[in-house]
């Protein structure tokens, strides 16, 4: 149970059917007036029940800040927050107490800890990401106001958004339920998800995230390279199976003469296969990366599995689950990226000696 962040840190807690989720953000700078409505708006983007293609569970996901803010301004002291769990139907899960569901974390938690809270997946539930949206959407407000972090669903199953992000209007991402900014592709994705849902099945996909206007200099080689910190954060998201940035896996097929990004005289680059990061440090160009998500493991059909005694049992998913987690994962990717960027952005402020002398706190 390791924290998120290197200087700006987040410690979280909470299980699916426990009392509450929440966390503590430390080293948040004093003097910022958080836009709390924006934080709630980001939570609403992640919330169940917001459209017909996501789970119909009802959770208000309303966050309460318990400390670190006074008269609407951050005080520099730790920010505690809490999201109370509601609408818990824990008894729905009693039949799972001794069952290991396929491709869930039931077996591994049991092996690791010798005990697990089996209600709704306990700690392994993706509901944990509610904490990340709170912390990330707050951390985002540390970044310069023109930094844009925009994620969208770039594929669902075999349906890909073929246009590169440059040809999309990313401000339109939330205009449809699946959060793909290309209306025609979105339509096909939605249709596909509805089919899959009707079958009691689930489906995977990818999310692309684009970061614009981040200043050059952000990222801490050797072990805190910008892409490495992003990769770590993204691979901590439940169901994430892969991460690539810039040219990614395609870049592995290329030659150096084709891949190198030549400079313009204003230090921008003619191409951007580097994905805005060189040597682990942002270069001022757009940063873009892609995250792969496997299909949700909970299907509403019978599957053969085993219980903790090693006997074969039949598991039938029931309850209200997502057939495709991608639309709700968009704000998770965005805000988690924001937390990583804010952390490294702050650290970067200390990396030149001259900067430090500029401010004088003397009495």
Restricting to residues 236-275, which ones interact with a copy of itself according to CB under 8 A?
A: 236, 238, 240-249, 251-269, 273-275
Does 196 sit near a copy of itself (CB under 8 A)? yes
Among 74, 185, 208, 335, which residue sits at the site for a copy of itself (rule: CB under 8 A)? 74
What six digits make up the tokens of 154? 């770039």
- Say if residue 216 carries a ligand binding annotation: no
Give yes or no for a cis peptide into 310 (omega within 30° of 0).
no
The answer to whether 322 and 54 are in contact (CB under 8 A) is yes
What six digits make up the tokens of 114? 């010798």
Q: Which part of the chain contacts a copy of itself (CB under 8 A), choosing from 54-62, 171-179, 183-191, 298-306?
A: 298-306
Does 67 sit near a copy of itself (CB under 8 A)? yes
For 242, list phi and psi in degrees, rounded to 5. Answer: -160, 160
Does 77 sit near a copy of itself (CB under 8 A)? yes
19 vs 166 by CB, closer to a copy of itself: 19
Instruction: Give SS3 for 140.
Output: helix
Does 283 sit near a copy of itself (CB under 8 A)? yes
Written in H, E and C, the secondary structure of 314-350 is EEECCCCCCCCCHHHHHHHHHHHHHHHHHHHHHHHCC
Cα gap 289→207, rounded to integer Å:
8
Letters for 89-128 (x = contact with a copy of itself by CB under 8 A, - = none) are -----------x-xxxx-xxx-xxxxxxx----xxx---x
- Say if residue 183 carries a ligand binding annotation: no
Q: How large is the angle between the packed helices 326-348 and 226-235, nearest 10 degrees?
A: 150
Cα gap 244→259, rounded to integer Å:
15
**207 C-beta neighbours (distance < 10 Å), count:** 27
Tell which positions 314-343 bind a copy of itself, by CB under 8 A.
Answer: none
Does 1 sit near a copy of itself (CB under 8 A)? yes
Instruction: Give SS3 for 148.
Output: strand
Among 51, 98, 191, 303, which residue sits at the site for a copy of itself (rule: CB under 8 A)? 303
Kindly report the length of the chain: 363
Among 76, 164, 183, 319, which residue sits at the site for a copy of itself (rule: CB under 8 A)? 76
Q: Which part of the chain contacts a copy of itself (CB under 8 A), choosing from 42-50, 55-63, 167-175, 230-238?
A: 230-238
175 vs 267 by CB, closer to a copy of itself: 267
Q: Which part of the chain contacts a copy of itself (CB under 8 A), choosing from 49-57, 162-170, 178-186, 202-210?
A: 202-210
Helix (H) or strand (E) holding 113: helix 106-113
* Closest distance of CB 330 from a copy of itself, Å: 14
Which residue positions form the known binding site?
46, 238-239, 279, 294-298, 320
């Amino acid at each position: 149970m390791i924290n998120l962040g290197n200087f700006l840190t987040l410690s979280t807690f909470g299980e699916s059917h426990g009392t509450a989720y929440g966390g503590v953000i430390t080293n948040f700078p004093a003097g910022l007036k958080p836009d709390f409505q924006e934080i709630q708006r980001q939570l609403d983007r992640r919330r169940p029940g917001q459209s017909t293609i996501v789970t119909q569970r009802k959770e208000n996901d309303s966050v309460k800040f318990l400390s670190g803010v006074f008269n609407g301004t951050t005080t520099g002291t730790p920010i505690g927050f809490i999201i109370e769990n509601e609408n818990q139907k824990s008894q729905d899960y009693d039949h799972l107490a001794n069952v290991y569901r396929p491709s869930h974390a039931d077996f591994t938690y049991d092996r690791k800890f010798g005990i697990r809270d089996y209600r709704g997946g306990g700690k392994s539930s993706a509901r944990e990401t509610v904490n990340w949206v709170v912390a990330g959407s707050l951390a985002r407000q540390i970044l310069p106001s023109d930094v844009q972090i925009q994620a969208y669903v770039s594929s669902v199953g075999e349906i890909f958004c073929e246009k590169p992000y440059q040809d999309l209007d990313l401000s339109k991402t939330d205009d449809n339920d699946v959060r793909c900014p290309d209306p025609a592709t979105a339509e096909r994705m939605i249709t596909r998800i509805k089919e899959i849902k009707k079958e009691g099945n689930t489906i995977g996909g990818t999310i692309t995230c684009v970061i614009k206007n981040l200043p050059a200099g952000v990222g801490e080689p050797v072990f805190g390279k910008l892409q490495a910190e992003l990769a770590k954060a993204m691979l901590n998201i439940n169901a994430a199976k892969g991460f690539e940035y810039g040219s990614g896996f395609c870049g592995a097929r290329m030659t150096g003469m084709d891949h190198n990004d030549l400079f313009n005289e204003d230090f921008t680059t003619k191409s951007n296969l580097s994905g805005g990061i060189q040597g682990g440090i942002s270069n001022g160009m757009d940063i873009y990366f892609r995250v792969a998500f496997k299909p949700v493991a909970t299907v509403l059909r019978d599957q053969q599995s085993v219980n903790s005694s090693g006997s074969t049992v039949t598991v039938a998913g029931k309850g209200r689950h997502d057939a495709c987690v991608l639309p709700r994962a968009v704000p998770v990717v965005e805000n988690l990226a924001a937390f990583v960027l804010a952390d490294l952005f702050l650290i970067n402020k200390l990396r030149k000696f001259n900067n430090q002398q500029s401010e004088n706190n003397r009495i």
